[in-house]
Amino acid sequence: MKATFNRAIVLATATLALSFSASAHRAWLLPSSTVLSSEEAYVTVDGAISNTLFHPDHVAMSMNNLTIMSPQGNNVEALNMAKGKYRTTFDVKLDQEGTYKLASASAGLRAFWRDEDGNRKMWPGRGQPFDATKFDAEVPKDASELRVIQSARRVETFVTLGAPSNKVFAPTNVGLELVPVTHPNDLFAQETATFSLLIDGEPAAGAQIEVVRGGMRYRNDQQLIAVKSDSSGKFTVTWPEAGMYFVEISYEDDKASAPASVRSASYSATLEVLPL
């Protein structure tokens, strides 16, 4: 079912997960491990917005919108949170068997126009929080070249203790979401994984997907894998070798809820591919 503007407001009561100034960089969550087998375990997670994948070199990622979901669907507290200049770190205690989802998600409106002098304006301003109650007062409805965008962003990673589970993959039906066919903690080099994409709960056909293996700092070629989702929102990836991978997905259409005329969404995830 198509998400309404009011549902987007509920999700975005705080600031957007990424500032507009950071949109040219990649935001990622990197767990120290993705598959664990002990009865009780911890993972340490780095979060950053960087030019080079998994090498913090730009700014630390804000965790204002971070949620950690347990295999049973409960919220889990992030422990020992610390924010430095280039990265944020925290620990997660895994005390339930199954798959955990770590996510930073936000949704809201963006507006662009020109004032009477021809200067380009945007709302919210750079680094400013989204506040739906201010939209009518601060965005002129008769402005020149007015463009209102319904925007959603989501950054995720997954960690499994013991046997994998699937409860955390239940969609929220807001923004662009990944619904795995192949479990994201069951990926192996040279094998093909299948995933499904939803936009506001409906199949996201024609989404642009880019997959890049970590370690870019140590090679000249990004070795980017580019694919597109089919009419049912599905896409496949064959992993060339083991390692940490970054999956980045973008989507745009004209099926926005008023007052927006454009619906734009992005999704990214860090996935670990293991050797056979």
Beta bridge partners of 147: 112
- Based on C-alpha coordinates, what's the Rg of the chain? 19
Rounded-to-integer distance, Cα 268 and Cα 175, Å: 12
Q: Tell me, what's the pLDDT at 11?
A: 41
Element (H, E) at 135: helix 135-138
Q: Tell me, what's the pLDDT at 130?
A: 80
pLDDT digits 0-9 by tens, 28-81: 999 999 999 987 799 999 999 999 999 999 999 999 999 999 999 999 999 999
18 pLDDT higher than 70? no
Domains and CATH numbers, the chain: 5-108+149-273 (2.60.40.1930)
Q: Tell me, what's the pLDDT at 132?
A: 83
Is residue 112 within 8 A of residue 125, CB to CB? The reply is no
Rounded-to-integer distance, Cα 186 and Cα 276, Å: 11
The percent helix, strand, coil of the chain (3-state, each to 5) is 10, 50, 45
Identify the residue with better confidence: 69 or 15: 69
Rounded-to-integer distance, Cα 204 and Cα 191, Å: 24
12 pLDDT higher than 80? no
Q: What is the pTM of this model?
A: 0.86
Look at residue 208 and give its three-state secondary structure: strand
Mean of pLDDT values over 180-206: 98
Mean predicted lDDT score pLDDT of the chain: 90
Give the C-alpha distances (Å, rounded to integers) separating 211 from 32, 39, 128, 228, 230: 20, 33, 30, 11, 16
Rounded-to-integer distance, Cα 76 and Cα 161, Å: 14
Rounded-to-integer distance, Cα 102 and Cα 136, Å: 34
